[in-house]
Amino acid sequence: MTTTALQASLPVIVLIDDDGFGVQMLDELIQGFSDTTKICHTDPIEAMKWIDRHGADVVITDYDMPGANGIDLIKHLRGRPATSDVPILMITSIEDPAIRLSALDAGASDFITKPFESPEVRARVRNMLALRAGQKSLKQRAETLSAEVAATVRSITAREQETILRLARAAEYRDSDTRAHLRRLAETPGSSPVD
């Protein structure tokens, strides 16, 4: 059901809450983000497997879930290169400050307690999508630069090898003018090989 949208490279928001009603409400909350793909999960283990396979651009998760709680999920995602910097928002009705701190320590990007103000949550999700877009753009730029540097290094190496080859050929003549000849060749990289 999501293949087409995923192929279209729309940002993917993954929603995780073991309560079916809860996840449906979260899905409704972000309905306005029409240029995204929303994936809902009620099983945190399945959610982790799905994200491992397909990736995610923003993750919104509950805390209190059977099998793996929200902090387990955050630790799992942060431990993998593909999701180490994906923005993660935890939304829960648990008010315990220790859990909030643990979630943030584990790598949650933000933490919201129910009941929440819907416009505020949407604004935070929007910021997370913008942050993710920035991360992807930077990564793409770094990859482009890295490719350009690699191409330049290959070109310089090829030229150096060509120069050494020409010097070697020149040295084979062993005539009295070899030293001067090598100097002239060194100063004229584009000159033709000596026959």
Query: Is residue 67 part of the contact set for another protein (CB under 8 A)?
Result: no
Residues 97-116 that bind another protein (CB under 8 A): 114-115
Indicate the pairing of strand 12-16 with strand 37-41. Answer: parallel
Question: Is the separation of the CB atoms in 125 and 13 below 8 Å?
Answer: yes
One of 16, 68, 94, 129 touching another protein (CB under 8 A): 94
Burial class from Cβ neighbours inside 10 Å (0-12, 13-18, 19+) for residue 3 reads exposed
Stretch that binds another protein, among 29-37, 53-61, 99-107, 182-190 (CB under 8 A): 29-37
Query: Is residue 61 part of the contact set for another protein (CB under 8 A)?
Result: no
153: left (phi over 0), alpha (psi -120 to 50) or beta: alpha
**What number of chain residues touch another protein (CB under 8 A)?**
21
| Minimum CB distance to another protein, residue 105 (Å) | 21
Q: Which x/- pattern over 32-51 shows residues binding another protein (rule: CB under 8 A)?
A: x-------------------
181 contact partners, CB below 8 Å, separation of at least 6: 170, 173, 175, 194
Question: Is the separation of the CB atoms in 89 and 112 below 8 Å?
Answer: yes
Stretch that binds another protein, among 6-14, 62-70, 97-105, 168-176 (CB under 8 A): 62-70
One of 19, 46, 162, 177 touching another protein (CB under 8 A): 19
Query: Is residue 118 part of the contact set for another protein (CB under 8 A)?
Result: yes
Stretch that binds another protein, among 21-29, 52-60, 165-173, 184-192 (CB under 8 A): 21-29
Number of C-beta neighbours around residue 126 at 10 A: 14
CA distance 107 to 74: 6
Indicate the DSSP class of residue 136: H
One of 37, 69, 83, 92 touching another protein (CB under 8 A): 92
147: left (phi over 0), alpha (psi -120 to 50) or beta: alpha
Query: Is residue 20 part of the contact set for another protein (CB under 8 A)?
Result: yes
Q: Which residues bind another protein (CB under 8 A)?
A: 19-22, 24-25, 28-29, 31-32, 62, 64, 66, 92-94, 114-115, 117-119
